Structure 1
Amino acid sequence: MARSKYTEVELGMIADISGNLKRILHLKGVSQTDLSNKTELPTSTISDYVNGKTLIPPGNLQKIADSLNVLKSDINSSFKKAQSYKSIPLIDRIFAGEGLLAEQNVEGYIHYPFLDSRQPDYALKVKYDSMADAGIESGDIVFMRYAQWADYNGQIVAALINNDKEGTLKRIKWSEGSPLIKLMPGNSKHKVIEVLPNQVRVLGVYMGHFRPESHEEIAKG
C-alpha cells in the first residue's frame, strides 16, 4: 500500500523521477505497457511512477533502469552525486517517426566523462561539413541534450525540417518582425534554410563534441 505522506525531499525525488521517466520513454519510443512487460511490474505500478504518484523502491528502480538500458541516475538524479559519466547512446542519424533512441536507431554507446553535472542524452555522428566553420567536422561525435526548442537564439540544434525523413545539425535563429525561423549552416558553402515554426522540430541542443581518433573533447556549449 502506498504511503499517505512523503517528505519534501521525497516529493522532489518523485517529481524528478516522473519527469525523467517520461523523457526516457519518449526518447526510446517505449510505452508504459512495454515497460511493464519488460520489467514484469504491473502497468498500474508503472503508471504511478511515470505520473509521480509513488516513489520507486530501489529494487524496482534497478529493474526499470536495466530494461531501458540506462543508469539508475538517469531516472533518479540523486544517484548522480557519486557518478562522473554514463553510457551515452550513439545514433548514426536523426530519423522521423519512432522514438529517437529506439533500439533500432542506436549504433552503440560511448563512455565519456563530462566533468560537471550536465550529462548528454545522446551522441550523434556527424556526416557532413555543414558546421565546419563552427569546428564541427565530418566524422566528429556531437553530444546532444534532448530538448524541444533552443535555450537561446543562435544555439546549435538537431532538427527535422518539414517532412524530411532525416534530421540536420544547424544553428537556429529568429528575429522580431519575421515569422520565419532560420537554420544557419556553419559553412558558407551551404545555404540558409528558412521555415515557419511549425515546419521545424527540434530534437536536441548541442553540448559539445570530440574527434573519435583522439578522443579529445573539442568544446562545450
Structure 2
Amino acid sequence: MELNKFIGTKIKKFRESRNMTQDELAELLDTTRQSISRYENGERKANQDLLFELASIFKVSLDDFFPVRNLYDQTNIIKVTPENMVAIPVIGTIACGDPILADENIIGYRYHLKDRLPKGQTFYLTAKGDSMEPKIPDGSDVLIRMQDDVEDGEIAAVLVNGDSEATLKRVKKQGDIVMLVAENTDYAPYIITEHNPARILGKAVGVSFYL
C-alpha cells in the first residue's frame, strides 16, 4: 500500500476509535473537514508537523502511523549512532495554569532521530498544571520549534510578565486583539496589551508524556 494511503487509513482508524468526527478533528487542527478527508484518503501527504499534532491528539507515538517493519529483516533496523541522533534540550518549565517563574537553564535532554524532527531549531519545555488539558497533560514535555510568531489558533510557548515567566497557550487573534487561551475553560484568556506585553518563543509542534 502506498505510504500516504497507509497513513491516511491510520488517521481514520485513530479518529473513529475515539468517536471523533472529521469536523471535530478539523477544528482541533484548525483546518477544514475537506482537508481531513483528503488526508484520510491518501490524496494529501501528512507532513511531520501534522503527524506531531495528530500524535498529541490521539495520544499515540509517531511510529503508530507507519507500517510495522519485519523485526527479523536486518535491512529494516535503524542503527542508532551519534551521527543520526540529536539531543534536544529541556529548558525550564512552562506554566499551564497560573504562570510560574521561567527557568531558562537546561535541566536535561531528550534524544531523537534527526529525520523524525520538524525543521528548525527545537527545544522542550515541561508543562505544569491543567490549563491545557486534555490536549496537553500536566507534566508533559512539549516540543517547541523556535519562531517569533504563530498563526491564529496555534499553540505557542509565550513569555509574559516582562519576559520573566513562560506559559503555554493557544494564540487567538481578533483584529488588533491578541489573546492567550487555555484549552481548559476554567481559565480566563490572557489578553496581551501595551501594559500587559508578551513575546512568543515558538510554536508547540509535539508533546511527549508517560502513561
Q: Normalised by the size of structure 2, how large is the TM-score? A: 0.51
2:89 corresponds to 1:89: yes
1:175 and 1:143 map into 2 onto residues whose CA distance is: 26
2:118 and 2:158 map into 1 onto residues whose CA distance is: 25
Higher normalized contact order (CA 8 Å, seq sep 6+, divided by chain length): 2
Alignment RMSD (CA, Å): 2.7
Q: Report 1:63-212 matches (<5 A).
A: 84-93=84-93, 105-113=105-113, 115=116, 118=119, 121-133=122-134, 135-150=135-150, 152-163=151-162, 165-176=164-175, 179-196=176-193, 199-211=197-209
- Name whichever structure is richer in strand by fraction: 2
Instruction: Give the superposition deviation at 1:209.
Output: 0.6
- Name whichever structure is richer in helix by fraction: 1
1:138 and 1:108 map into 2 onto residues whose CA distance is: 18
Could you list the runs of 4 or more consecutive aligned residues of structure 1 that deviate by over 4 angstroms after TM superposition? none
Q: Normalised by the size of structure 1, how large is the TM-score? A: 0.48
| Larger of the two Rg values belongs to structure | 1
Residue 109 of structure 1 aligns with an amino acid whose one-letter code is: Y
Cα distance change on mapping 1:170 and 1:145 into 2, 3 Å: same
What SS does the corresponding residue of 1:174 show, helix, strand or coil? strand
Instruction: Give the superposition deviation at 1:166.
Output: 1.3
1:174 and 1:184 map into 2 onto residues whose CA distance is: 10
What SS does the corresponding residue of 1:112 show, helix, strand or coil? strand
User: Do the aligned residues in 2 keep the contact of 1:88 with 1:120 (CA within 8 Å)?
Assistant: no
Instruction: Give the superposition deviation at 1:204.
Output: 1.2
Cα distance change on mapping 1:161 and 1:89 into 2, 3 Å: same
User: Do the aligned residues in 2 keep the contact of 1:144 with 1:207 (CA within 8 Å)?
Assistant: yes
Instruction: Give the superposition deviation at 1:180.
Output: 1.8
What SS does the corresponding residue of 1:142 show, helix, strand or coil? strand
Deviation string for 1:44-83 (max 9, x for gaps)?
A: xxxxxxxxxxxxxxxxxxxxxxxxxxxxxxxxxxxxxx96
Cα distance change on mapping 1:83 and 1:160 into 2, 3 Å: same
1:117 and 1:157 map into 2 onto residues whose CA distance is: 15
Cα distance change on mapping 1:147 and 1:117 into 2, 3 Å: closer
Residue 206 of structure 1 aligns with an amino acid whose one-letter code is: A
Q: Percent identity?
A: 29
Deviation string for 1:85-136 (max 9, x for gaps)?
A: 41000012269xxxx86xxx10011112352552652101111111103x20
What is the match of residue 4 of structure 2? none
Aligned pairs, number:
121
